[in-house]
Amino acid sequence: AGGAEQRRPRRRPGAERSPSPSRLDVSSSRFDPLLALYSASTPLPFPAAPCFNNLAEYESFQRGLLRPRGRRSATSRRGPSAAARRGPPAADPERIQRLRSLMVNAGPEQEAAEGGATARRRRAPRNVLTRMPLHEGSPLGELHRCVRDGVKINVHIRTFKGLRGVCTGFLVAFDKFWNMALTDVDETYRKPVMGKAFYAEPQLTLTRLFDRLKLQESSGKKGADSKTVSEELALTNDSQTLALKAGSGRARAEDEHERQKRLGRAGEKKMPGDSLHLAARGEADVGSGTARTEGASAAGTRARSQSRKKRRPKVDYQQVFTRHINQIFIRGENVLLVHLAH
């Protein structure tokens, strides 16, 4: 008996004595794996179990996809090559049914466990509309709140450098690039100013924009001379600039620039007003002072009101425009910031 046992591994599967069943039974305590591998009569605990080539296949099967037929042909091919792993070929419908029942049970559990985001056919659609609510907790989530609650927003639009203007409206849709679709839009903006004025120009802010607009509108309503408007605006600019940079050398230069602009806007007139202006400029060279500015401008206005007939159309490069647009799409690249109006 001892010799037979020693020789057992070398013998061909067909020639050996059948060992006790408990040695070959997987669930018993006396299971001998080596024996089981070489034995011809190892009973399979689940003869109809599907056979897989690797863990990945098993995983795929567990996820409950596809054809039992494909699986079966794989099994039949692999069957003879494996050493003693021969199970009786189960009947097709029965096998399929069992597999199917496995799939149906595994399916909902799998879905629940993984949150439904598996590679199933009917995956949750991911498109621009479904992505909008996904940004909860981030600034884009705030944007989504605006869409949901119909909050009016102010979108600051940028020019190549700095602020261009504001669009106020209701947000309909947005995306991760901050592209936005707005409805019922009022746009307040100013064309970017170029050339020498660009260097002298203090940075456009929202306050300045609306101040200018208010001035424009109020002057327009009074039906006043448009030159007066530019005078007032220049005054505002001057006083602002001077107030901000009092005493610095730069102020003087800016003063000059402002005055030049004012003159340019007013148009060159061959009138006594001109000489007054020149005198004013001369004075400016000596020193800066608000009083002098006012004096000069007052004189200028008087002079210009006399020369109304020879008025030439002048372009106010710093004019603020307003327009209403029903529906607009804004490319996200041009958005500076979004401000929620309460």
Partner 1 sequence: MEVSHSVKERTIAENSLVILLQGLRGHVTTVDLRDESTATGRVTNVDAFMNVRLAEVTFTDRQGTVSCLDELFVTGRNVRYVHIPDEVDIRTTIEQQLQAIHRVRYFGGRDKGRKEFPRAKHK
What residues make contact with partner 1 under the rule CB under 8 A?
57, 60-61, 63, 65-67, 70-71, 74, 119, 121, 123, 125-129, 131, 157, 160, 172-177, 179-181, 183, 191-192, 325-331, 333-334
| Residue positions counted in the chain | 342
- Which of residues 130 and 305 has its CB atom nearest to partner 1 in the complex? 130
8 A C-beta contact, residue 290 and residue 162: no
- Which of residues 51 and 299 has its CB atom nearest to partner 1 in the complex? 51
Half-sphere exposure of 137 (CA within 13 A, CB side): 1
Half-sphere exposure of 30 (CA within 13 A, CB side): 6
- Which of residues 67 and 302 has its CB atom nearest to partner 1 in the complex? 67
Minimum distance of partner 1 from residue 174's CB (angstroms): 7
Minimum distance of partner 1 from residue 155's CB (angstroms): 11
- Which of residues 71 and 259 has its CB atom nearest to partner 1 in the complex? 71
What are the tokens at 332? 């996200």
Q: Name the 3-class secondary structure at 143.
A: helix
Whole-number Cα distances in Å, 152 to 1, 172, 215, 337: 94, 11, 25, 14
Minimum distance of partner 1 from residue 123's CB (angstroms): 8
- Which of residues 11 and 78 has its CB atom nearest to partner 1 in the complex? 78
Minimum distance of partner 1 from residue 132's CB (angstroms): 10
- Which of residues 48 and 170 has its CB atom nearest to partner 1 in the complex? 170
8 A C-beta contact, residue 65 and residue 96: no
Minimum distance of partner 1 from residue 175's CB (angstroms): 4
DSSP labels, 200-248: HSPPP-HHHHHHHHHHHHHHHHHT--HHHHHHHHHHHHHHHHHHHTTT-
Minimum distance of partner 1 from residue 140's CB (angstroms): 13
Using CB atoms within 10 A of its CB, is residue 231 exposed (0-12), middle (13-18) or buried (19+)? buried
- Which of residues 210 and 329 has its CB atom nearest to partner 1 in the complex? 329
Dihedral sign from CA coordinates of 71, 73, 78, 84: positive
Minimum distance of partner 1 from residue 126's CB (angstroms): 7
